[in-house]
Amino acid sequence: MTILNMIIDGQPCEVPVGISIAAALALMGNGVTRHSVSGERRAPFCGMGICQECRVTVNGRRVLACQTECQPDMVIERSQYANV
């Protein structure tokens, strides 16, 4: 199995090649992608990009975790609030 290196919330991690960011977050033990403005934890719901619950920031750009494949040296940050 081929592994790639990424950073999730400042922590280095290794994930298998070919998985989505949502899968990588779940694999690392915490599938939460963001917190709503009221502080509720959010995670992927639909798995096809419709619900927008899986928004994360990758290398400074907002993407959908369920629709974005992991790439080497990605820097992934979970949003603290829905409007961030």
In the chain, helix, strand, coil percent, each to 5? 10, 35, 50
**pTM (whole model) above 0.85:** yes
Query: In degrees rounded to 5, what are phi and psi of residue 49?
Result: 85, 0
Query: CA–CA separation, 52 vs 45, rounded Å?
Result: 8
Query: CA–CA separation, 47 vs 6, rounded Å?
Result: 21
User: Token digits for 10?
Assistant: 């400042």
For 6-60, how does the pLDDT look when each residue is reduced to its tens digit (9 = 90+)?
A: 999 999 999 999 999 999 999 998 899 988 888 888 888 898 989 999 999 999 9
